[in-house]
Amino acid sequence: MLGRLRNTRKAALVAAFAAGAVLVTGVVVAQQKKNRTAPLGYSDTPVLPGQKWKVHDIDRPRPRLVTPGAKPGDPPSDAIVLFDGKDLSKWRTRGRDGKEQPARWKVENGYMEVSGGTIYTTEKFGDCQLHVEWAAPAEIDGTSQWRGNSGVILMSNYEIQVLDSYDNPTYADGQAGAIYGQWPPLVNASRKPGEWQSFDIVFEAPKFDGEKLVKPAYVTVFHNGVLVHHRQEIIGRMAHRIISPYKAHGPEEPLALQDHDTKVRYRNIWIRRLTGYDQQ
């Protein structure tokens, strides 16, 4: 009997809360809208160390609006879409003579597939946020670095390795997500060959004064949503079996996708140029 009463009381409570009411000492009271107001900012607060703004500064510019993608991985409103599954209009390749030619990768079913040379964006980028989806060939053909090798080459110089690293005992600094030849990924977050995978990259371009490096590049990488580099310093250009120091280049350079003679596929590639705080 007591149990049933308790249950009835519990049911009443649940119903009351669902109806937007509160129970105060056994009496159900309709919840009143509070309609509280708060200041939009302050001007009598201390100046933040190293900034021109005060704490909660009323005059500090509000961040500009960006509409996020409809689902995770979709491009936000301020992204430059480099590949939407339809065409290679934002990409070029280079002939043996170094001259630009149309990119020749195969485009079908919403993806592009490596073929006919490394491709480069027509537009140049420096500091950026980059989203890339890729898949190594479903059929394993070869070992080690021949399993689905490609690469996302930032500024045409700094490679984040694309490889089928699923149960592939190749060298650590050549695995998927590695800063090739320099730093292995923190963990191996690879999916099986043939499955779509993602890189989300935040890149800080190196800075040069003439020929001299004054600030190295840094990179943060998420592989399939898992952190694999945390603002890691890049020690120089991508290279195989050697150390290749920095060589001065422009503040923006084309992004490249590597043709390493394996049929890696890419889809949904977008990039955002990074801007600082307080810009409208």
Cβ of 207: how many Cβ atoms within 10 Å? 14
Under the binding rule (CB under 5 A), the answer on residue 188 touching Mg ion is: no
Lay out the site mask for Mg ion across 64-103 (x = CB under 5 A, - = otherwise): ----------------------------------------
Under the binding rule (CB under 5 A), the answer on residue 174 touching Mg ion is: no
Cα–Cα distance measured from residue 85 to residue 265, given in angstroms and rounded to the nearest whole number:
11
CB of 153 to Mg ion, least distance (A): 8
What residues from 239 to 258 belong to the interface with Mg ion (CB under 5 A)? 258
Stretch that binds Mg ion, among 68-76, 161-169, 211-219, 226-234 (CB under 5 A): 161-169
Stretch that binds Mg ion, among 50-58, 145-153, 206-214, 247-255 (CB under 5 A): 145-153
Under the binding rule (CB under 5 A), the answer on residue 151 touching Mg ion is: yes
Q: Which residues pair with 220 in a beta bridge?
A: 202
Cα–Cα distance measured from residue 162 to residue 154, given in angstroms and rounded to the nearest whole number:
13
H/E stretch holding 17 reads helix 2-18
Under the binding rule (CB under 5 A), the answer on residue 118 touching Mg ion is: no
Contacts of 117 (CB under 8 A, 6+ apart): 93, 94, 103, 104, 259
Name the nearest CA neighbour of 127 among 215, 57, 20.
215
Under the binding rule (CB under 5 A), the answer on residue 149 touching Mg ion is: yes
Q: Is the Cβ of residue 75 or residue 236 nearer to Mg ion in the bound state? A: 236
Stretch that binds Mg ion, among 64-72, 93-101, 147-155, 199-207 (CB under 5 A): 147-155
Q: Residues 168-177, buried b or exposed e (16+ Cβ, 10 A)? A: bebeeebbbb
- Residues in the interface with Mg ion (CB under 5 A) total 5
E-state strands within the chain: 21-24, 27-30, 80-83, 91-94, 100-102, 106-108, 111-113, 119-125, 128-135, 150-154, 158-162, 197-204, 207-209, 212-215, 218-223, 226-233, 253-257, 265-273
Q: Is the Cβ of residue 165 or residue 258 nearer to Mg ion in the bound state? A: 258
Q: Is the Cβ–Cβ distance between 108 and 265 less than 8 Å?
A: no
Stretch that binds Mg ion, among 116-124, 156-164, 183-191, 211-219 (CB under 5 A): 156-164
Q: Name the residue number minimizing CB distance to Mg ion.
A: 151
CB of 163 to Mg ion, least distance (A): 7
Under the binding rule (CB under 5 A), the answer on residue 206 touching Mg ion is: no
- Return residues touching Mg ion (CB under 5 A): 149, 151, 161, 258, 260
